Amino acid sequence: MTIEVRNLVKKFGSFAALDGVDLKVDNGELLALLGPSGSGKTTLLRIIAGLDWPDAGEVSFNGEDALAQGARERHVGFVFQHYALFRHMTVFENVAFGLRVQPRAVRKDEAAIRARVKELLDLVQLDWLADRYPSQLSGGQRQRIALARALAIEPRILLLDEPFGALDAKVRKELRKWLRSLHHEINVTSIFVTHDQEEALEVANRVVVMDKGRIEQIGSPDDVYETPATAFVHGFIGESIELPIHVDGGVIRLGERPLQLAAEGLAPGASRLFVRRHDMLVGPPGTGAFEGAVQHVRNFGPVQRAEVALAGGETIEIDAPRDKELRAGDTIGLNPRRYRIFAG
Amino acid sequence: MGLTLTWLSVIILIPLAGLFLRTLELSPEQFWAILSSRRTLNALRVSFGLAFAAACVNLVMGSIIVWALVRYRFPGRRIFDAIVDVPFALPTAVAGVALTALFAEKGWLGAPLAALGIKVAFTPVGIFVAMIFIGIPFVVRTVQPVLQDLDPEIEEAAGSLGASRWQTIIRVILPSLAPALLTGLALAFARAVGEYGSVIFIAGNLPNVSEIAPLLIVIRLSEFRYADATAIAVVMLVVSFVVIFAVNRLQRWAQSRIPAR
């Protein structure tokens, strides 16, 4: 199933949750909608599911107008952040719900429903919990049951709204891997919403980065990390150093200090320079584009993180390998291995 | 612990025991004769029957009111919310007089109804109306917090799984509210059975037709037939207790299907 969204607009009062969004999702993709809260990602997901309606724009599934149908007719599996399981039903009945409410003409008989539920519980590896109530399960188990429930109706599309957002870090990591392999197994076109970049980059085939109701970039996890399209994406994904610079006469300046960086093709005026923390290479004083004094150093697993006061007046944090000798008070040169400059 | 028991004993258990002791003054034959008299049976029937009917009406209408108050934002919602408590706060005699004036043959509602040939005041229908009036807050106030806690997402989940609105209500919402609904029903029923003030004004109090059991007790007392009065009281007590107990069991059964979160 392919999904196409064209020029979608949704306003809540004067706040534009979606401000002209275009998106194409291919069959069998596992797509992540990534953005800070308030970026419109959940609104977009809910409109695709039929739980919300846009003020303008189109949504189509396989070329068919989806907005003509309600949530009930769209045949979309939806997984909520807080599970939304039916508390008065056993796990078994929760999963069976979608099968039991089908119109009588197409409804399966009891034996077929039982077999299907069993199969789904096996798929999420929780068949031994069939007779429990949701309140007796852990968060991770509940979310897997919610997923089995959504899959019971053989959805054409699977939509997950911050599926791991309410879980603790360890369970979240396990479930990420599990979701990836599950998607590989069932191969249903899937979209999941997250504000956790690590989750998006690790799980998805393609990542859509959103901010303020607009799409900033669509690309593979490598694309959005290595070649961010906008200043927002660079700042949001990965840990970045951001410096306000000024370009004039083919020279880049940080404050008054000219930087030894190529300025070809840059528009004159105020710009911002972005460097990944680990792309700032440490050298002896006088050797790099920047110069600064180390304020303090802390060890962070495989790297050491140093706070450096630059000669231009800014203070930045860099990640250097552990074997590099760095001490508070040292004056060092810094050279960006890779960097990007965005106007504005 | 000791304080709780002492207090409960003084306030509830000792008066109840006194009631039973007083009844023991009667021989079983006398007791039976009092209860099986036509007037007593009719009074009990009127009280329990109408109270149950009124509680059922309150269950349905109360649920609708709760739904509107919790799920919709409309102008004056807070005022309506406050109005629900009026039957709680109003002295019952005032309510009785007001309802009687309203439904009397020349009253605002009584006159058009009389034109249709429906008489409310001074008939069992009047009792029924008064019992609905005083019972409604019990249903609304017990169900309201539970519905507020009910996550609207579960309705969306049901919808996206293909359930119609009706299936969502029957299979998802009502079962989740069942314990609260039962409690509301029991409270409204208990209140209506015991209601005296508002009912006697509108009832007409015709023996065998629109005479409620609490009124019959008062009449017996004023005739100095204390044993008769306590005999009727004991029956009301036992029946009420059985009903409350049954609802309690039902509630526990319903709750066992929804273990604490």
B258 vs A136: CB contact, 8 Å cut-off? no
- pLDDT at B261 > cutoff 60: no
Q: Which of B47-56, B59-68, B94-103 has the lowest mean pLDDT?
A: B94-103
Tally of CB atoms within 10 A around B32: 12
CA-based nearest residue to A102, from A142, A137, A75, A141: A75
B143-175 burial code (b ≥16 CB/10 A, e <16):
bbebbeebeebbbbbbbbbbbeeebbbebbbeb
Integer-rounded Cα Rg, in Å, for chain A is 25
pLDDT in tens, B217-248: 888 888 888 888 888 888 888 888 888 788 78
Q: How confident is the model at residue B258 (pLDDT cuts 50, 70, 90)?
A: low
Q: Coil, strand, or helix at residue A341? A: strand
> Do β-strands A303-310 and A290-300 pair in parallel, antiparallel, or remain unpaired?
antiparallel
pLDDT for B5: 86
- CB contacts of B176 in chain A (<8 Å) are 86-88
pLDDT for B260: 45
Give, for all 344 residues of chain A, the pLDDT tens digit: 899 999 999 999 889 899 999 999 999 999 999 999 889 999 999 999 999 999 999 999 998 999 999 888 899 999 998 999 998 899 999 999 999 999 888 888 899 999 999 999 998 889 999 999 998 999 889 999 999 999 999 899 999 999 888 888 888 888 888 889 889 988 899 999 999 898 999 999 999 999 999 999 999 999 999 889 999 999 898 888 888 888 887 788 888 788 878 777 777 888 888 999 888 888 888 788 888 889 988 888 888 899 998 887 788 899 888 888 888 888 888 888 888 888 87
pLDDT for B257: 61
CA-based nearest residue to A126, from A173, A90, A77: A90
pTM of the model: 0.80
Q: How confident is the model at residue B21 (pLDDT cuts 50, 70, 90)?
A: confident
C-alpha of A123 from chain center: 25
Please give the average per-residue pLDDT across B54-69, as a whole number: 93
A97 vs B158: CB contact, 8 Å cut-off? yes
User: Which is more confidently placed, A243 or B250?
Assistant: A243
A-chain residue closest to B253, CA distance: A88
Chain B residues 144-173 within an 8 A CB cutoff of chain A: 151, 153-154, 156-164, 167, 171-172
pLDDT for A164: 87
Residue B160 has its nearest CB partner, among A49, A82, A133, at: A49
CA atoms within 13 A on the CB side of B107: 18
- pLDDT at B259 > cutoff 70: no
Pairs of residues, one from chain A and one from chain B, whose beta carbons lie less than 8 Å apart: 78
> Do β-strands A206-211 and A240-248 pair in parallel, antiparallel, or remain unpaired?
unpaired
pLDDT for B198: 86
* A104 touching chain B per CB within 8 A: no
B156 vs A78: CB contact, 8 Å cut-off? yes
Please give the average per-residue pLDDT across B140-161, as a whole number: 91
Structure tokens at B170: 């029957």
Chain A residues 312-341 within an 8 A CB cutoff of chain B: none
Q: Which of B136-145, B163-172, B210-219 has the lowest mean pLDDT?
A: B210-219
> Do β-strands A157-161 and A189-194 pair in parallel, antiparallel, or remain unpaired?
parallel
Residue A84 has its nearest CB partner, among B154, B176, B258, at: B154
Residue A71 has its nearest CB partner, among B159, B257, B259, at: B159
A82 vs B158: CB contact, 8 Å cut-off? no
> Which residue intervals of chain B are DSSP H helices?
2-8, 14-24, 28-36, 38-71, 77-83, 86-89, 92-103, 110-115, 124-149, 152-160, 165-168, 174-194, 197-203, 213-222, 226-256
